[in-house]
Structure 1
């Protein structure tokens, strides 16, 4: 009985989540810069002579860097790969590399971590940048292995928040202005929302070279396999989920 009740509840919850409102129109003005989801920045105002694609690394190269006993050996390896402008800097513009942290209608996200920027090996840090369109949301997520500090570097303001854990589940809301920052404790569920009519850009500093990211909605609520497993594999009405 409890299983059937849970199944019906799950399916009703999913059904009620379907919006009945017409699609909202974009808030940005015509001809205004925006950050699309195709890996390219419209009008590319940030592209300069210094902009170049980030290099790729073979598995053998990453393994050699990982196994180097000292920082000197590691830096010697990296320098042997070519021009330091290729291997010792990382381009976080949309033109520097494909979006690897987030990608959708709300904007794009890029993360420099030990896997794509191995000069970070042993440093205990990584960095991300988020390009949010008007009304763009960096959806609820956690960083498994890192505390994060977010700083707004372009735009008007960002609405931000986090939920720490069981026992202190009261959301902590902040609104940051240009060049202001806020903290996200390791493992906390957090988000950023641009409720303005112009794009916003924020930089996120992370306390681990391999911070990890797990998006709450995408990895649970919108994952059919997870929903099906929670509902016993069968939805109300008899249709299969798994």
Structure 2
């Protein structure tokens, strides 16, 4: 009986810990109805401050087009704990390997098809082929990518993030465009310094 009681206490403590961790995992709750954007007087806040006006974007051959709606584009997202992006994939184009350090991502294909994948902290790879209407979750901080494998048709998707400022770390530019020591990169990847130097030359610095 005593053991059963102790086991119940342990299980309860674990569940409480998980609940607390989950509560702290996202953006903090706002203390007001909304946070007034910098430079705007509270009395002057209007519907325009909650509106993002999309600009028409046409496909550029061989280039992924991403239209973000995050804290930088819509300051009233501050404290809202959500942001989004629309992605347009020309044929055979990928969203390169990256991760979001502050948010999970839920991606839904709206037209065409995408092959998606993420790698967890144990090195396991989770692959999936998505079609229009399908959605896929990329957990926070996990390396992932998406690619349109169709050589003829474009694909479109919408991504929703659990943070107003999810952040993005692109693997290539971060490793090879940030000025890391060539010897360190050589020993880290066990490839020749000549190859490292070519990768460095091919990668622009990581965007802020």
Aligned to 1:80: 44
1:224/1:89 CA distance change after superposition, 3 Å: closer
Do the aligned partners of 1:152 and 1:203 also contact (CA within 8 Å) in 2?
Answer: yes
Are 2:99 and 1:146 equivalent residues in the alignment? no
Q: Which residue of 1 aligns with 2:33?
A: 71
The match for 1:125 is 82
The root-mean-square deviation of aligned C-alpha atoms, in Å, is: 3.3
* Contact 2:61/2:90, CA 8 A, preserved across alignment: no
TM-score (norm 1): 0.57
Give 1:217 deviation, angstroms: 1.4
Change (3 A) 1:226 1:119: same
- Which residues of 2 match residues 88-103 of structure 1 at below 5 A? 88-95=50-57
Whether contact under 8 Å (1:146, 1:187) holds in the other structure is: yes
Please tell me whether the aligned partners of residues 106 and 135 of structure 1 are also in contact (alpha carbons under 8 angstroms): no
- Structure-2 change in CA distance of 1:79 and 1:203 (3 Å): farther
Aligned partners of 1:108 and 1:130 also within 8 Å: yes
CA distance in 1, matches of 2:115, 2:69: 24
Q: Residue 109 in 1 paired to residue 66 in 2? A: yes
CA 123–198 in structure 1, closer or farther in 2 if over 3 Å, else same: same
Name the CA distance, whole Å, in 2 between partners of 1:69 and 1:170.
39
Match 1:199 to one of 150, 154, 159: 154
**Structure 1 position 164, deviation (Å):** 1.3
1:176 aligns with 2:138: no
Decide whether aligned partners of structure 1 residues 175 and 124 sit closer, same or farther in structure 2, where only a CA change above 3 A counts: same
SS at match of 2:133: coil
CA distance, structure 2, for counterparts of residue 215 and residue 104 of structure 1? 21
- Report if aligned partners of 1:92, 1:111 keep a CA contact under 8 Å in 2: no
Q: Is the 8 A contact 2:35 2:78 kept in 1?
A: no
1:218 aligned to 2:157? no
- Matched pairs, number: 159
Write out per-residue CA displacement over residues 152-187 of structure 1, whole angstroms, 9 at most, x where no aligned residue. Answer: 0122x100000011xx21210011110110000000
